[in-house]
Chain A
């Protein structure tokens, strides 16, 4: 340690949770420019939209795409748009407001889908203002990546069209586990006809296997949980959210609310050793 290390400056640290538990961190891996509407799309009045599945904690952010002919292939977008439309229908997330019936569906936006990331430790957002550091806890972190599920829809369509003679590339999900008996499809039947891709695969497997009745326990617990989770999520309805960019008035309001207004010194019960004692062994 250096002997003449002294404090150069001190900033008081404020903590507030005015916006808790709604403050989240959204990460966009692979995107290294800011999230904004391309100028050409702004001209035609498009905005970024967002929607949320509250129970499943899943968010989607839809960003309009730049469809100038120099950088966008309109023909392809129509093709893929059809795939997306079908994908939406399958997943029951068709938004009647957004669909225009009079023209071909086009791919007009990039959809970013969120994945909740577990926190390690306590995450806080900090802003330095007027010589003080203001902290605010973050409750959730989500990573948003573009979804390409419309490609799956197109793939399925083309595979069905081709029939039994499908090439090796379009394989029907991961091959069934040789040690595990393939799952049976009675749960999806009970559920109804809303099912999408996942149920179809399960049904197909059932046809393949010989003695289909003996195993409720054949579905491993983990897989069952996952399937249930997926189904629960699909049943959850999307809630539209009004998206306000960083420069808008509402965002400024929320931003101001972030800050601690009070200068009272707070007390705490815990000690440094609390960190040690609450470390969880793995």
Chain B
């Protein structure tokens, strides 16, 4: 079908229908937009391209890498990135490559990757106050920096600090005005200095591994996948079953953590008769299942049964009373929702520490709770007494470890079975109710 040949094909008998002549209008009739790319100025690139070819050895060969050329080039952005070499010739004027001077944190190149060169200069010297170092947080009883924590860890940490000096890395001589500070020690430089990351030196790591391996070898239980496999490292004992690698790996982590933590729990609770100064006592956080059983003193008649937990939310809205209510154990009144909770003061049970490291809390009526360490928080937690009546906010201290109390499953199930049996027995003694079939 001839159709409409394109316009103005005067010279041809049959115009090619497939070919659209180049016009400025699109098929829809609008004006075609012309795309004109902004070409980067190519001048410099050509020059630079020629230079390295002529320049002596230090820069690696190849035009694209003239940017990243040489370890000493201080523009960290383009360091070692040849792909970005091209097309950026329109960058702000730079000195020609061989004359680049190194500056900035990457100045020394990757050889000092483990540390950073800081221009501390006047800052350090002009600080009138002592920099915050490890002794400081300990004195505050803080559980906040890596240094604080149960005694074990603290000592370990201090020890590692000392060792750092022994096997401290040897750095190349600094330039003038530049002080080299190990990254681990940055936080000791100033009050406002950033926190250093936790550092596990090679020594500690191997110690931990050794401890882990020992513990696992001591384990008598032949449970599948449990602790027969050493940690998956080059130094550890070979893994028995290839198929269990991941499983063993996963277990190792949790186990080792558990072991450490167990010891620490004991340490926390087994401080008998230590005469500590007032503020050295550690505050712990306990999480109990709700509802926490209510306790009453024997001398009075029992108040409402245990569904009312001490920490139910509706108490918060209540007007608070002054905090001067000092013990001894008073007779709790009948609990009215509008009044403050009955005053409770006394022994509710005992905390038992077992040889295996398990910690259980035994409360009245056979309530047995397992106490385990909860996820430790890395941030500051304060126990605070907010007294709205006297408009006081008193910080009682910083809370260190967290513990979770969970009902001991065995005793829970036993109690349930007993309850069931009791119910059945009750039904039997009372006799079954006759059915009215009339």
State the A residues within 8 Å of B (CB): 2, 4-36, 38-40, 50, 52, 54, 57, 59, 66, 68, 70-71, 118-131, 133, 135, 137-140, 239-248, 250-255, 257-258, 260-276, 278
Question: When the two chains form their complex, are residues B379 and A31 in contact, meaning their CB atoms are under 8 A apart?
Answer: yes
Tell whether A127 pairs with B325 under 8 Å between CB atoms, given A21-B320, A31-B379, A139-B315.
no
Query: B284 on the interface (CB 8 Å rule)?
Result: yes
Instruction: From the candidates A5, A251, A257, name the one contacting B358 in the complex (CB within 8 A).
Output: A5
User: Are A14's CB and B347's CB within 8 A?
Assistant: yes
Supply 13 further A-B pairs (C-beta < 8 A) apart from A25-B285, A38-B191, A272-B411: A11-B350, A11-B353, A12-B351, A29-B379, A31-B144, A34-B140, A122-B289, A246-B279, A251-B397, A262-B346, A263-B346, A272-B366, A273-B412
10 contacts between A and B (CB under 8 A): A13-B348, A13-B361, A16-B345, A32-B378, A121-B290, A124-B285, A126-B283, A126-B403, A246-B382, A266-B364
In the complex, identify which listed stretch (B69-77, B233-241, B386-394) lies at the interface while the others stay far away. Answer: B386-394
Contact B381 A28 (CB under 8 A): yes
Give chain A nearest CB distance to B229 CB in angstroms.
22
Closest to B415 in A: A272
A268 touches B419 (CB 8 A): no
Residues in A whose Cβ lies below 8 Å from that of B383: 23-26, 125, 138
Partner pick for B293 among A20, A140, A263, A269, CB 8 A cutoff:
A269
Cα distance A2–B286 when bound, in Å?
26
As a 0/1 sequence over residues 110 to 152 of chain B, the CB contacts with chain A under 8 angstroms (1 = contact) are: 0000000000001100111100100001001110110000000
CB-based contact A133/B269 at 8 Å: yes
Partner of A123, one of B272, B285, B296, B386: B285
B191 touches A278 (CB 8 A): no
Residue-wise interface mask of B (300-330) relative to A, using a CB-CB cutoff of 8 A (1 in contact, 0 not): 0010011101110101101010010111110
Which one of A125, A246, A247, A255 has the greatest number of beta carbons of chain B within 10 Å? A246
Q: Are B391 and A240 in contact (CB under 8 A)?
A: yes
Return chain B residues, CB-CB under 8 Å to A128: 268-269, 271, 281-282, 284
Question: Which among B282, B381, B388 has the highest number of chain A CB atoms within 10 Å?
Answer: B381
Q: For chain B residues 232-284, which have a beta carbon within 8 Å of chain A?
A: 266, 268-273, 278-279, 281-284
The interface of chain B, by Cβ under 8 A from chain A, is: 122-123, 126-129, 132, 137, 140-142, 144-145, 190-192, 195, 266, 268-273, 278-279, 281-299, 302, 305-307, 309-311, 313, 315-316, 318, 320, 323, 325-329, 340-341, 343-356, 358, 361, 363-368, 377-388, 391-399, 403, 407-408, 411-412, 415-416, 419
B343 contacts across to A, CB distance below 8 A: 17-18
Out of A15, A138, A245, name the residue touching B395 (CB < 8 Å): A245
**Which chain A residue has the least Cβ–Cβ distance from B130?**
A39
| Residues of chain A lying within 8 A (CB to CB) of residue B386 | 22, 24, 52, 59, 241
Q: Is the CB of B195 within 8 A of A33?
A: yes
- Kindly state the separation between the CA atoms of A38 and B291 in the bound complex, as whole angstroms: 42
Residues in B neighbouring A138, C-beta threshold 8 A:
285, 311, 383
Known contacts A8-B353, A251-B396: A119-B345 contact under CB 8 Å: no
Tell me whether A269 and B306 are in contact in the complex, defined as CB-CB below 8 angstroms, given that A244-B395, A261-B345 are known contacts.
yes
Residue of B nearest to A126 (CB): B284
Find chain B residues with CB under 8 A from A13 CB: 347-351, 361, 363
Question: Are A70 and B123 touching (Cβ within 8 A)?
Answer: yes
Q: What's the Cα separation between A124 and B348 when bound, in Å?
A: 14
B125 CB → nearest A CB, Å? 10
Complex CA–CA separation, A69 to B354 (angstroms)? 56
Contacts of B391 in A (CB 8 A): 239-242
Residues of the A chain whose Cβ atoms lie less than 8 Å from the Cβ of B305:
269-270
List chain A residues, Cβ under 8 A from B144: 31-34
Q: How far is the CB of A246 from chain B (nearest CB, A)?
A: 5
Measured CB to CB, the nearest residue on chain A to B395 is A246
Bound-state Cα–Cα, A54 to B386, Å: 11
Please tell me if the beta carbons of B316 and A135 are within 8 angstroms of each other in the complex: no
Query: A134 → chain B, closest Cβ, in Å?
Result: 10
Q: Which 7 A-B pairs have the closest CB atoms?
A: A270-B306, A122-B292, A261-B327, A266-B295, A39-B129, A270-B293, A137-B310
